[in-house]
Amino acid sequence: MTALDLPPVDPLPDDTRRYFEVCAEKLGLVPNVLRAYAFDIDKLNAFTAMYNDLMLSDSGLSKLEREMIAVVVSSINRCWYCQAAHGAAVRQLSGDPVLGEALVMNYRVAPLDPRQRAMLDFAAKLTESSSRIEESDRAALRAAGFGDRDIWDIAAVAGFFNMTNRIASATDMQPNPAYHGAHR
């Protein structure tokens, strides 16, 4: 699943094995990103803790909005793994396969409400030129209805996917084949 020869810990610790079983039960698969990290259980646990906190915990951002950020960041970075995996998540959560495809290809043509547009414009600018973020960018988010905690969450999700995109690209991480046909 990657270009690196990093076999998983064998046997997997009981907690990790159970986590993978839950993934298989809920998702129908164990995401390759988790399998890729299984060579070092501490790294896997750090990755999953951060992912679960950013993507699943309480936030002023919906799960769909967080997945939309993941897709836009991954599209800008041309991350094959995350475009496939999170594009499928957007299709699932939105019930709209066209939205998932538009976000992967060019979010600027997607039918977005002003709140989503402001959020994704900020995530895109943060990805393309983070040093150019200024108060007017945060003001645009506030004008669209986001609070300061929401702005933090937008930045944290975008930052996380900028990091994971680079690891996925550096290792030639391959998406699970099931993502490609999911929720179309």
Contact between residue 127 and residue 158 where contact means Cβ atoms under 8 Å apart:
yes
pTM: 0.96
Q: What is the gyration radius of the CA atoms in the chain, in angstroms? A: 17
Q: Give Cα 182 to chain centroid, integer Å.
A: 16
Q: Verify cis geometry, omega within 30 degrees of 0, for the bond prior to 114.
A: no
Model confidence band, residue 181 (pLDDT cutoffs 50, 70, 90)? confident
Enter the DSSP assignment of 177: T
Which pLDDT does position 7 carry in this prediction? 98
Percent of the chain with pLDDT over 90: 97
Nearest-angstrom CA–CA distance, 117 and 140: 10
Using alpha carbons, list the distances in angstroms from residue 57 to 11, 53, 81, 128, 153.
30, 5, 23, 27, 11
Model confidence band, residue 184 (pLDDT cutoffs 50, 70, 90)? confident
Using alpha carbons, list the distances in angstroms from residue 90 to 19, 109, 135, 157.
23, 16, 29, 15
- The predicted-structure confidence for 69-125, as pLDDT tens digits, reads as follows 999 999 999 999 999 999 999 999 999 999 999 999 999 999 999 999 999 999 999
